[in-house]
Chain A
């Protein structure tokens, strides 16, 4: 414990340097440099005895590996698993989650040698990481009796062809990933007959990673998996682990379409921890410009490094990772020839280098690592002293997960979040209680997105014929099969009997030469994409981009970045789906200016005046309250709606942005084809009558709506736990002519402007309905984001940078939001039961 107390002292010193004064009971101070410093008290371990059903051989093996008792969450998970109940366990980092599923699985194999289990990890690297631990565990089990030898293998894209056959027959435990299950295992299920006949458990590790498109695909993949299991007569139990999210049980049940037990109280001990929020000071009040958050991160990391504390720094991009690594290496250059104590870590590094860094972190040779989110998932790097996050990771769940990388059981640790000037960062850093006291985000999926569903129905029909009474998802499977039959992809067999046998039941069989899984990528809706071709020297493909993000990132003259190397797009072959690029040395990057038009196709639900005006005669209370607001109900329009929309978008121009200073140093016009999609959207409508009554000029009103749109996007992203790319925003000002590249749209006086937040995937991915449900939260948050911003009249942290909107934008936006909020909450109260 000497080392522990040495570290505790060093940590106290560093914290004192960064935030002088009393640590405990410190109130939040949104306007100061350190906006929050919270102390999370130590938590002692809670133990439970081994469940009765556990085989004595397994207990002996656990004891041999130093495990003589279980944490309470492990014991409860194991009990559920042994009883054949699906279970999802919520575990902080390093709380022994793997034992929760390894114990029941090894137990099942020891009891019945034919038992099999399939582990699914979201990435190949995580499977590799778990392989060593599982193999060691199995060797301990087999040490007592060689007959108890248990085969553990990874099966992924890297598995050599000649090893695959052996794995198919010999592996008790197969460690794989959804992509491999999708294209490598399920379509070849007869070769895996032994696995599927005896499949007792399916492990889904890092369940929270399966949200949005990936989660929607996984749900369909599991539908296929269960069909194949039924064919072979097995019915596996699902064992899942997840980081903290708001709806783990719900997500598990949606993904597997089966009931789940939830184990969410960790029995693992935790040392005392400090969590600090830092907002770089404002250097230009008028423009709302703050000191560079990367510089601030460097300074803070140095305080800890100087005191010989082991450190992980998370950066938001590969570029930021490389920059911070360079800074810290410069600051802490060791003696020449000494092993490098400061390392970078990100996707794109070779596996060997990654393993070396991970090992260095575990044994202390690496003093600090700067990483992208690549180290956020459960790669084993041991526990460190301090975690510094350069920029808000985007979600509460990810922030806690990254913070969990620091935290030893017996000594103090600290996590520091340094906010960038992005609106989301500013909102969080100035509202610490939103982070510390609110529940984390919900993970959302929409497995019945038609694009995704139809693709998986094809794959499923290839794997096993569908019966004429079967179902698959929410939509009418038989109808979809008939439509696939129209295209000759499947066929319903003739119902004739030919000899004296009973006629075979009606079956839909795959009648196409193609291999449908090859055309489906689990990480996107459509597998259509653009490839990036470097023509600098010999012609070679250096990257690819999803179809929808092709035009905004690969338009002519766009700067395309791969591992720090800059390329300029010389030509975009839209039809051939190719962008030809050439290396370039420049000091700017580009952002596209897109014009998007959204048309409503179908409104699923709406709230607003319709409800309220009809209620007026019934409920005097509501009528009274409605009159308190400046009568927004005169127009017969809804305020908040969701439904199906048609989105047409076109990239009309681009801006050149200088690195580091983010100055706008040029622009250009572009003429690219339109992209269209059907998707779902949530939208807010501000009645024209309300707009007309605002005491502002027409331009200011327009700026206010644009400003709200700018801010609401951030809040939507926050509430939906999604990437910025997952949603799109569009403002319908009622203007009929498409605006050109850099001109702002005019506001038509007699039209009610609408702000659309649409799912940026064909068919929608399930964000719109939850946004509709959370509309009050969304609008309140947006209002707070704008109101609490310290700038005078708009900045990048609220309604957008100066120049994007005018001087009155901030004030007018707040006014409009008050009106909208009044109407929305009135509607919400009406809908809620009175008692």
Chain B
């Protein structure tokens, strides 16, 4: 006869039970790969609150009126980052700051505060916490300062949010990597939870993920662009740096839970380091991207960067600059020595397509048709874009040029690339209409 406690244990461990623990918590820790702590076994120590300061190198501070545990570090201007030094990143960013509004799409000024969260899970549900809020900025001397707020006890969250609110409120612009989709909604949820005003709401926010993807990972509309655009991939290229012994993101929540349960902060050291590196790389990435924007289309040397600029201008509604950037991307990708490279062909096609769409929006139909034709003449053009070009040319010839035979020809050619039934039906419909029009026209001609 089992006791109540045993029965409840059985229920908790049963297959299909909610939140069944799969991994015992002691599997993570200094022994786990990537940890930089001493290779000690993991004693289940009791209260480790005093250790937190020593282990993580932080202190309890009253920040913006709220008691918080904060780890503050500074990288000197002379410390190296990739091929650069931190001080050079600082001055490049300061020089290029005027380009920020184009990215934020609202007034955005210095100081920039870079921010990044570490959380206990994905998605902003009530039981997911932002346990580490990292903020970073360049100080007046060109050093990079990070201030990391740790949620030592889950019950202290309100104080942490108050302090973080103060930190973010002094920013001329917030800068994040995927923050618009993840970090900011996550924070907003926590503020709502505590029914606090969110200090970050409505502030200028540069989310560098999409910008970086455009600049350095190709255009997302192309199938080839299903490429890795993580911060660590960007560190290798274009930032030319990298990290060793980084903690896998999937391990981070378990490390924090271990700390919550035991007070042992050692597994968190790598998490803090990971967060600091993310902030610095984000700053470097932002400096580089804004620098390119600041230089303008005629100064960039890489076709993909010109294409990305075009996208940025178009997104900000500046079609004139956008056209120049797209044209620059087309010219650069058509240069001797680049023309043959498949990646250049993709950039060229994408730039032509973007330009064609922009011209059509501006009612410059003949120029747009020219772009579509160039797309069809580019070897290695992806099928779906060739289909789009043929369809656009069919419409153009039917309604503007009124060359029905050519329209029919383009419509039929668009079938070569489409496989979906709905597409086939639409094209057949168009061809049938064209044929009706053509026979009517012929009859009309005979009557004349």
> What A residues does B13 contact at CB under 8 A?
487
**A616 CB within 8 Å of chain B:** no
Quick check: which of A509-517, A534-542, A744-752, A809-817 contacts chain B, the rest being far away?
A509-517
Give A451's nearest chain B residue, CB to CB: B11
Q: Check A454 against B125 for contact (C-beta < 8 Å).
A: no
Q: How does the 8 Å CB contact mask read for A523-563 relative to B, with 1 for contact and 0 for none? A: 00011110000000000000000010000000000000000
B342-371 contacts to A, CB under 8 A, are none
In the complex, the answer to whether A458 meets B19 with C-beta atoms within 8 Å is: yes
Rounded to whole Å, the gap between the CB of A710 and the closest CB of chain B is: 31
Pairwise interchain contact B14-A526, C-beta atoms closer than 8 A: yes
Given contacts A187-B126, A480-B8, contact A489 B19 (CB under 8 A): yes
B348 to chain A, nearest CB (A): 34
> Would you call B195 and A189 a contact (CB within 8 A)?
no
Interface string of B319-351 (1 = CB under 8 A from A): 000000000000000000000000000000000
A581 within 8 A of B: no
Contact code string B1-27 (vs A, CB < 8 Å = 1, else 0) = 100110111011111111111001100
Q: Out of A501, A505, A513, A527, which one reaches B121, CB within 8 Å?
A: A513
A301 is an interface residue with CB less than 8 A from chain B: no
Question: Are B126 and A462 neighbours in the complex by a CB distance under 8 Å?
Answer: yes
Asked whether any CB of chain A lies closer than 8 Å to the CB of B254, the reply is yes
In the bound complex, do residue A486 and residue B9 qualify as a contact, i.e. CB atoms below 8 Å apart?
Answer: yes
> A63 at interface (Cβ–Cβ under 8 A)?
no
Of chain B, the residue at the smallest CB distance from A188 is: B125
Q: Is B156 an interface residue when CB atoms closer than 8 A count as contact?
A: yes
Q: Is the CB of B15 within 8 A of A462?
A: no
Point out which of B13, B14, B17, B257 has the most chain A C-beta atoms below 10 A from its C-beta.
B17
CB-CB nearest in chain A for B69? A498
Chain A nearest Cβ from B74, distance in angstroms = 24
Knowing A454-B11, A493-B153, A498-B67 touch, does A488 contact B16 (C-beta < 8 A)?
A: no
Tell whether A509 pairs with B154 under 8 Å between CB atoms, given A193-B192, A232-B195, A678-B7: yes
> Shortest CB–CB separation between residue A75 and chain B, in angstroms?
38
Could you jot down 26 A-B contacts, CB within 8 Å? A187-B127, A191-B124, A191-B192, A450-B8, A451-B14, A458-B18, A458-B19, A459-B18, A462-B19, A462-B125, A463-B126, A463-B127, A483-B8, A483-B9, A489-B19, A494-B49, A499-B67, A501-B67, A511-B257, A511-B260, A516-B19, A517-B18, A519-B18, A526-B16, A527-B16, A602-B1
Cα(A678)–Cα(B155), bound, Å: 38
Query: A513 to B253, Cβ gap below 8 A?
Result: yes
Question: What is the count of residue pairs linking A and B with beta-carbon distances less than 8 angstroms?
Answer: 153
Question: Is A601's beta carbon under 8 Å from chain B?
Answer: yes
Q: Is the CB of A507 within 8 A of B154?
A: yes
Write the A485-503 contact mask toward B (1 if CB under 8 angstroms, else 0).
0111101011010111100
Known: A499-B62, A507-B155. A187 touches B125 (CB 8 A): yes
B190 at the interface (CB under 8 A from A): yes
Q: Provide the residues of chain B in CB contact with A451, threshold 8 Å.
A: 11, 14
- How many angstroms between the C-alpha atoms of A484 and B21 in the bound complex? 10
> Is B42 positioned at the interface, with any CB of A under 8 Å from its CB?
no
B: residues with CB less than 8 A from A are: 1, 4-5, 7-9, 11-21, 24-25, 47, 49, 60, 62, 67, 69, 120-121, 123-127, 152-156, 159, 189-190, 192-193, 195, 253-254, 257, 260-261, 263
**Would you list which residues of chain A between 437 and 456 have a CB under 8 Å from chain B?**
450-451, 454-455
Whether A51 is near chain B, meaning CB under 8 Å from some CB there, is: no
Q: Which residues of B contact A450 (CB under 8 A)?
A: 7-8, 11
B126 & A483 in contact (Cβ 8 Å cutoff): no
Taking A197-B195, A498-B152 as known contacts, 20 extra A-B pairs with beta carbons closer than 8 A to each other, sorted by chain A number, are A187-B126, A188-B124, A190-B189, A450-B11, A465-B155, A479-B5, A486-B9, A488-B24, A494-B47, A498-B60, A504-B153, A507-B155, A510-B127, A511-B257, A513-B257, A516-B18, A517-B18, A519-B16, A519-B17, A678-B7
CA distance A494 to B263 in the complex (A): 9
Q: Which of chain B's residues have a CB closer than 8 A to the CB of A493?
A: 153-155, 260
Taking A462-B126, A498-B49 as contacts, is the C-beta distance between A483 and B12 under 8 angstroms?
A: yes
The answer to whether B49 and A496 touch across the interface, beta carbons within 8 angstroms, is yes
Assembly CA distance A512 to B16 (angstroms): 16
* A289 sits at the interface (CB 8 A): no
| B9 lies within 8 A of A512 (CB) | no
- A518 at interface, CB cutoff 8 A: yes
- Residues of A contacting B21 in the complex (Cβ-Cβ under 8 angstroms): 487-489, 512
Q: Which applies to chain A's interface (DSSP): helix, strand, loop or mixed?
A: mixed
If A483-B5, A513-B253 touch, whether A190 touches B126 (CB-CB below 8 Å) is yes
A520 within 8 A of B: yes
A479 to B9, CA, bound (A): 11
B200 to A: closest C-beta gap in Å = 15
Given the complex of chains A and B, what is the CA–CA distance between A301 and B4 in angstroms?
56
A 394-433 contacts with B by CB, 8 A: none
State whether the Cβ of A243 lies closer than 8 Å to any Cβ in chain B: no
Give complex CA distance A167, B148 in Å: 35
Chain A 223-265 interface 0/1 with B at a Cβ cutoff of 8 Å (1 = within): 0000000001000000000000000000000000000000000
| Chain B residues near A510 (CB-CB < 8 A) | 127
Q: Judge whether A323 is part of the interface by a CB distance below 8 angstroms.
A: no
CB pair B121 A464 closer than 8 Å: no
The complex places the Cα of A488 from the Cα of B126 at a distance, in Å, of: 18
Neighbouring A residues of B253 by C-beta, 8 Å:
513
CB contacts (< 8 Å) of B254 on chain A: these are 513
Knowing A496-B47, A515-B125, say if A528 contacts B257 (CB, 8 Å).
no
Q: Name the distance in Å between A557's Cβ and chain B's nearest Cβ.
A: 26
A461 at the interface (CB under 8 A from B): yes
Give the residue of B12, B124, B152, B156 whose beta carbon is less than 8 angstroms from that of A454: B12
B16 touches A504 (CB 8 A): no
Q: How far is the CA of A826 from the CA of B25 in the complex (A)?
A: 60
Residues of A within 8 A of B5 (CB): 479, 483
B153: chain A residues at CB < 8 Å are: 493-494, 504
Residues from chain A with Cβ under 8 Å of B120 in the complex: 511, 513
Q: Which A residue sits closest to B25, measured CB to CB?
A: A488
| Of the residues A191, A459, A491, A514, contact of B261 by C-beta under 8 Å | A491
- Interchain residue pairs A-B with the least CB separation, the first 3: A462-B127, A528-B16, A519-B18
Residue in B20, B60, B261 whose beta carbon sits within 8 Å of that of A511 in the complex: B261
Residues of B within 8 A of A465 (CB): 154-155
Q: Contact check: which of B14, B18, B195 meets A514 at CB < 8 Å? A: B18
Q: Are B257 and A488 in contact (CB under 8 A)?
A: yes
Contacts known (A193-B195, A499-B67, A509-B155); A484 close to B261, Cβ less than 8 A: no
Q: Once the chains bind, are B257 and A515 in contact (CB under 8 Å)?
A: no
Q: How far is the CB of B30 from chain A (nearest CB, A)?
A: 19
Chain A residues near B263 (CB, 8 Å)? 494
Instruction: Determine the distance from Cα of A694 to Cα of B154 in the docked complex, in whole angstroms.
Output: 70
Residue from A461, A488, A500, A505 within 8 A of B127 (CB atoms): A461
Contact, CB under 8 Å: A491 / B260: yes
Closest CB-CB distance, A400 to chain B, in whole Å?
Answer: 37
- Nearest Cβ distance between residue A442 and chain B, in whole angstroms? 27
CA distance A459 to B261 in the complex (A): 20
Q: B1 near A454 (CB under 8 angstroms)?
A: no
Given contacts A190-B190, A513-B120, contact A489 B260 (CB under 8 A): no
Q: Are B12 and A489 in contact (CB under 8 A)?
A: yes
Which of chain A's residues have a CB closer than 8 A to the CB of B4? Answer: 475, 479
Q: Give Cα A505–Cα B255 distance, bound, in whole angstroms.
A: 25
A455 to B13, CA, bound (A): 11
By a CB distance below 8 angstroms, the chain A residues around B19 are 458, 462, 489, 512, 514-516, 519
Q: Which residues of chain B are near A479, meaning CB under 8 Å?
A: 4-5, 8
